[in-house]
Structure 1
Amino acid sequence: MSNSQGPRQLFRGALIFHGSMGIISIIGIVMIQDISDFVRPAREVVGGFAIGIGFGSCAAALSLLLSKVWRRARILETRLAQIFEGLTVGEVFVLALLSSVAEELLFRGLLQPVIGLWLASALFGLAHWTGDRRLSCWPLISLIAGLALGKLSLWEPAGLSGAIGAHFAVNWIGLARLRRSATPPSDGFSEAP
């Protein structure tokens, strides 16, 4: 395994981090915004989520294509594959779902209505900065994804559940693919930042 912590520790840490993010976001939404803006009939929530799954699946295909034509995207994928190596399919599913719900509640549900699409998307991009210059494309890709997710959340048929669905599809498809294609540590990609 090439990540510095084992897959179970990574999984537990991500559960705590994203679980906390989701809870804090819900508290913030309830305290700052009109909760009635978030209450929608179940049919609309499920429909929005399904629309998001479709958009996210297309975005995941674009991400795969990007990794074929852009060296920095390939480096990012190699590193992510190393990080998520050893996770089970179930763990990847839970991480994809929990991170999608928590991040969308924070960036699209809580922040975007207060600070706007562009600033919320910029913060979403910055949240994906690792400090490793070789992975500098991740914040840029995340900024663009944040703008798309923000626009999707503003589109009435999709709404916030559509942004969550799209984010989930990107994470689930990408992580499921990457966990199968982990590159051995001898690929020349140094662990040091």
Structure 2
Amino acid sequence: MKNKHAEMIKELSDRELVFHLYLTQIILLTIAVILGMILFDDVGEFTQLFNWEDRNILLIGGGAGLVVVLLDFTLMKILPSSYYDDGGLNERIFRNRSISHIALMAAMISISEEILFRGIIQTNVGLVFASIIFAVIHYRYLFNWFLFLNIILLSFFIGYLYEVTGNLVVTIFMHFIIDFLLGVLIKYRNNKQEGMFNE
């Protein structure tokens, strides 16, 4: 199964991978809208999950996002590269993108995933169920025990912060910070390696 998935990914061009990333996020948002119409009494009940004036957006969301990225960056330096091997998918998605495109991708991923998993599922079914589904939906990580453990712990952590703050904007911003900074890190690490080979 792992080999079949890896082969399927290799057959796709970088452009096709990015297209599939956007398509996946649109599908998740569509699912969120459908479930939201079923599980919430009205739109007002859903919009109460967003508090744009909450200082916890920067303090907790931004702070926790930076802590996760710093921890990840530290572990990348310490652990063997095989621990972070996702089959090269993240590298292929981010390596040739502009900073603004990485920001756009990170924004779309964080908004769609947090609305569905925290705003819709966790609000109505609970932290454990939402966190497990969030981890499983990141299918490629199932083949690497470290990445799978990583995504489960991260999912529970984001879910816990949502429980504490009650504000979906906090977790969206945290998720954005993580994806954006790691995407930029992958881009520059790849560019640096290419520069070394070209010398």
Q: Same fold (TM over 0.5)?
A: yes
**Alpha-carbon distance change, 84 to 41 in structure 1, aligned in 2, over 3 angstroms:** closer
Confirm whether residue 130 of structure 1 aligns to residue 140 of structure 2.
Answer: yes
Equivalent residue, structure 2, for 1:91: 101
Return closer, same or farther for 1:144/1:78 CA change in 2, 3 Å cut-off: same
Over the residues paired in the alignment, what is the CA RMSD in angstroms? 2.6
Q: What is the aligned residue count?
A: 179
- Given candidates 69, 86, 91, the residue that maps to 2:78 is 69
- Structure 2 residue aligned with 1:170: 178
Q: 1:147 maps to which residue?
A: 156
2:17 pairs, out of 10, 18, 21, with 10
Say if 2:158 and 2:171, in contact at 8 Å, map to a contact too. Answer: yes
Shift of 1:142: 0.9
Which residue identity lines up with residue 145 of structure 1 in the other structure?
Answer: L
Alignment CA distance shift 1:176-1:24 (3 Å): same
Report the CA distance between 1:30 and its aligned residue. 3.2
Cα 1:25–1:48 shift into 2, 3 Å: farther
Structure 1 equivalent of residue 32 of structure 2: 25
Provide structure 2 residue ranges, at least 5 long, that are not aligned to the other structure.
1-8, 195-199
Letter in 1 for 2:121: L
Higher relative helix content? 2
Alpha carbons of structure 1 residues 16 and 129: separation in structure 2 relative to 1, 3 Å: closer
1-side partners of 2:65 and 2:157: how far apart?
10
Partner Cα distance (1:57, 1:23) in 2: 30
2: CA distance, partners of 1:143 / 1:65? 19
Give the deviation of 1:27 after TM superposition.
3.1
1:178 positional shift:
0.5
Aligned-residue sequence identity (percent) comes to 20
- Per-residue displacement from partner, 1:10-55 (whole Å, max 9, x unpaired)? 22222222022123213322320244253255323xx343231221
Determine if contact 1:108/1:160 at 8 Å carries over to the other structure. yes
